[in-house]
Amino acid sequence: MNTDITALAKPEYPVVDRNPPFTKTVGNFNTLDYLRLLSITGVSVTVGYLSGIKPNIRGPSMFTGGLIGLMGGFMYAYQNSAGRLMGFFPNDEEVARYKKYNK
């Protein structure tokens, strides 16, 4: 049984790489991906700090919130980058960039 979602859904945009490796996906992060990653991390650090005020564990709570936000932000940026490479999200920049290198 194939549980790969890409086998079930058809891409709406040109496919740059059907199964992009980790390094290519991370290398494809754009400015908006990094901005989202940092924003999610920053919000999580703040929430962690604020949730640790009452029990007086601000430091560990802030650190834990930051780690959770960093992982969540990275996963969100990775999902968007991989989606653009696989053709599930708008990918005009990626198509132009990879056509230039593949010629």
Average pLDDT per 10 consecutive residues for the chain, totaling 103 residues: 62 91 95 97 96 92 96 96 93 86 59
**Model pTM?**
0.86
Q: What is the pLDDT of residue 6?
A: 59
- The CB-based long-range contact list for 33-38 (8 Å cut-off, 24+ gap) reads 33/77, 33/80, 33/81, 34/77, 36/73, 36/76, 36/77, 36/80, 37/70, 37/73, 37/74, 37/76, 37/77, 38/73
Q: What is the pLDDT of residue 8?
A: 73
